[in-house]
Amino acid sequence: MGEMNNIRNIVILTGAGISAESGLRTFRAEDGLWEDHPVEEVATPEGFRRDPELVQRFYDERRRNVRDAQPNPAHAALAKLDREWDGELLIVTQNIDDLHERAGAQRVLHMHGEALSVWCRACDARHPWEGTLLDGPPCPACGAVALRPDIVWFGEMPYEMDRIFAAIARADLFVSIGTSGAVYPAAGFVQQAAAAQARTLELNLERSNGSHWFDETRLGPASVLVPEWVDEVLA
């Protein structure tokens, strides 16, 4: 991936690895979130039905951690790219933190939902939410005690898939940052990008499940690789 010229439309996929250096835990490392919270218990509709308090407590803690975290140089670099890139750009993030936005990025799509948003099961309204849900607060719109995390759980459909597929179909460059390629549909985006003749670049701490699909893989921390790459593509 020597030249970065004749690139107009870029799609970037980010995962937990881009927020690791902001102190937010990833999922599948040895100290990963899924080590001490089995996915089935805290990230499925069945788990929520079985033990809603356990799930509310888990996401109350995620919300607290997100609020206490700060964007790192990788988030700042993508925000700079968003400001200065006059072609199409879409940052599709699997992350539920708001660090892309807090760094200043605007063209961001949260395909797995957001920690700082809640969803009313009674009236379907969504609300920004910085606090907790364990204490059963009423929905600001309808008053029902029926708020759940606005998170896409396993078995649920990720958000805005049509918009994502349309962006990938038009992409000249697809960049994957800080994701293990363990979870579909995100893990399949690189194959769609390649099929649409986009060039594909992976920036990750270690080789991922999907590395073999990429034209180029650069290994290292996002806080180093992402600013370097953004400078390259803006040059």
CB of 5 to ligand APR, least distance (A): 26
Q: How many residues bind ligand APR (CB under 6 A)?
A: 22
Q: Between the CA of residue 18 and those of 53, 73, 81, 198, 199, what are the distances in Å?
A: 29, 9, 15, 22, 21
Residue 183 CB neighbour total at 10 angstroms = 17
d(CA 111, CA 165): 12
Which token pair is 85?
């890139």
Among 22, 27, 75, 115, binds ligand APR (CB under 6 A): 27
Among 205, 215, 218, 233, binds ligand APR (CB under 6 A): 205
Binding mask 58-97 for ligand APR (x = CB under 6 A): ------------------------------------x---
Q: According to the binding rule CB under 6 A, does residue 221 interact with ligand APR?
A: yes
Continuous segment of H or E residues that includes residue 200: strand 199-204
Q: According to the binding rule CB under 6 A, does residue 17 interact with ligand APR?
A: yes
Closest CA to 63 of 148, 155, 183, 180: 148
Cβ proximity of 17 and 26 under 8 Å: yes
Comparison of 28 and 127: residue with beta carbon closer to ligand APR: 28
d(CA 202, CA 218): 6
CB of 186 to ligand APR, least distance (A): 6
Binding mask 147-186 for ligand APR (x = CB under 6 A): -------------------------------xxx-xx---
CB of 213 to ligand APR, least distance (A): 14
Query: Applying CB under 6 A, which part among 9-17, 101-109, 131-139, 227-235 lies near ligand APR?
Result: 9-17
Continuous segment of H or E residues that includes residue 18: helix 17-20
d(CA 147, CA 17): 29
d(CA 88, CA 67): 30
In DSSP notation, 32-43 reads -HHHHS-HHHHS
Site for ligand APR in 98-137 (CB under 6 A): 112
Catalytic residue, candidates 75, 100, 110, 112: 112
User: Would you tell me which residues interact with ligand APR (CB under 6 A)?
Assistant: 15-17, 20-21, 26-28, 32, 94, 112, 178-180, 182-183, 204-206, 208, 221-222
Catalytic residues: 112
